């Protein structure tokens, strides 16, 4: 199993922080992608954040009333090892298939 951490996403409009209103999932719970995770309030509005990931919730950050900055950890999921790459893939260690020609070939075209 692997753990994936998600930060509080950029909420647009230049907002840099949000206050947790209510968690809709709890630690240990299995959630689906797009399932509502948490309600947060910004200086402009209240929003419900859907889950970017399916998996088991390992940890949530912030209790109701706590402020979280954009980019700070919000939630950690546990996912099977072979699906961890959905978020960021590590390039395989093999020879590149394409080459970039660094010098111009003057006699073509």
Partner 1 sequence: MSGRHTGGQHSHTVEGTDPQLYVQVHDPASDAGLRPVLLLHGFSSSSKLNWEDTGWVAALLEAGRRVITVDLPGHGRSGAPEDRDSYAPSRIRADLLQIAFDAGVRPLQDGDPSSGLDVVGYSMGSRLAWEFGATQPEIVHRLVLGGPNIADPLAAFDLVAAQDYLADGTPIADESTAGLLKMAQLLPSNNIFALLSLIEAIKAEPYDPAEAVPHMPMLLVAGEKDDRAATMPQLAELGIKAGSMAEQLVLPGRNHTNAITSRAFKQGAINFLAV
Residue 29 within binding range of partner 1, rule CB under 8 A = no
Q: Which residue is it, tokens 């509080």?
A: 8
Q: Which of 55, 53, 65 is nearest to 23 (CA)?
A: 65
Q: Residue 39 or 78: which CB sits closer to partner 1?
A: 39
Q: Least distance (Å) from partner 1 to the CB of residue 50?
A: 7
Residue 16 within binding range of partner 1, rule CB under 8 A = no
The Cα 90–Cα 76 span in angstroms is: 20
Q: Which of 32, 105, 22, 18 is nearest to 70 (CA)?
A: 18
The pair of structure tokens assigned to 46 is: 């209240």
Residue 17 within binding range of partner 1, rule CB under 8 A = no
Q: Residue 52 or 78: which CB sits closer to partner 1?
A: 52
Residue 26 within binding range of partner 1, rule CB under 8 A = no
List residues near partner 1 by CB under 8 A.
Answer: 13, 21-22, 24, 34, 36, 39, 41, 43-48, 50
């Amino acid at each position: 199993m692997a753990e994936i951490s998600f930060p509080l996403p950029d909420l647009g409009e230049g907002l840099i922080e949000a206050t947790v209103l209510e968690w809709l999932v709890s630690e240990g719970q299995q959630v689906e992608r797009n399932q509502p995770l948490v309600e947060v309030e910004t200086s402009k509005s209240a929003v419900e954040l859907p889950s970017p990931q399916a998996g088991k919730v390992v940890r949530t950050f912030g209790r109701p009333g706590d402020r979280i900055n954009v980019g700070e950890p919000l939630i950690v999921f546990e996912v099977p090892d072979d699906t961890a790459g959905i978020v960021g893939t590590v390039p395989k260690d093999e020879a590149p298939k394409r080459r970039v020609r660094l010098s111009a070939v003057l006699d073509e075209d």
